[in-house]
Amino acid sequence: MMVSLYSAATGMWAQQYKLDTVSNNLANVDTTGYKKIRAEFQDLVYQYYKNAGTPTAQNSTIPTGIYVGHGVRLSATNRIFTIGNLEQTGNALDLAIAGDGFFQIQLQDGRIAYTRDGSFKIDSDGRVVTANGLTLVPNIVIPADAVSINVSPDGIVSAEMQDGTIENLGTITLVRFVNPAGLKAIGDNLYLQTASSGDPIEGTPNQDGFGAIQQGFLEKSNVDVVKEMVDMIIAQRAYELNARTIQTADDMLRTVSTLKR
Partner 1 sequence: MVRGIYTAAMGMLVDWFKLDSTANNLANVDTVGYKKDIPTFSVYDERHVYSSLNRKVPIGNLPYSVVVDRVYLDATEGSLQYTGNPLDLAIVGNGYFSVQRNNEVLYTRAGNFKLDAEGFIVNADGFRLLDVNNEPIRFEDGFSIDAEGYVRDHAGNVVSRIAVYGFASQQNLKKVGYTLFLPTEESGPAVAVEDFRILPGYVELSNVNAVAELVKMVELQRHFEITQKIVLAEDEMLAKLFSQLATLR
Binding site for partner 1 (CB under 8 A): 1, 3-5, 7-8, 10-11, 14-15, 18, 38, 40-46, 49-50, 52-53, 62-72, 75-76, 78, 80, 82, 100, 178-179, 181-182, 195-198, 201, 209, 234-235, 237-238, 241-242, 244-245, 248-249, 251-252, 255-256, 258-259, 261
Q: Residue 52 in contact with residue 63, Cβ under 8 Å?
A: yes
Determine if the peptide bond prior to 138 is cis (ω within 30°): yes
Residue 72 is classified by DSSP as E
Smallest distance, partner 1 to C-beta of residue 26, A: 17
Looking at the Cβ atoms of 203 and 216, the one nearer to partner 1 is 203
Smallest distance, partner 1 to C-beta of residue 63, A: 5
Please tell me the distance from the alpha carbon of residue 175 to that of residue 93, in angstroms, as a whole number: 19
- 74 SS3 class: strand
Task: Print burial letters for 202-239: b (CB count within 10 Å at least 16), e (below 16).
Answer: ebebbeeebbbbbbbbbbbbbbeeeebeebbeebeebb
Looking at the Cβ atoms of 6 and 127, the one nearer to partner 1 is 6
Smallest distance, partner 1 to C-beta of residue 173, A: 17
Q: Which amino acid is at 70?
A: H
Looking at the Cβ atoms of 94 and 219, the one nearer to partner 1 is 219
Smallest distance, partner 1 to C-beta of residue 234, A: 6
Looking at the Cβ atoms of 46 and 88, the one nearer to partner 1 is 46
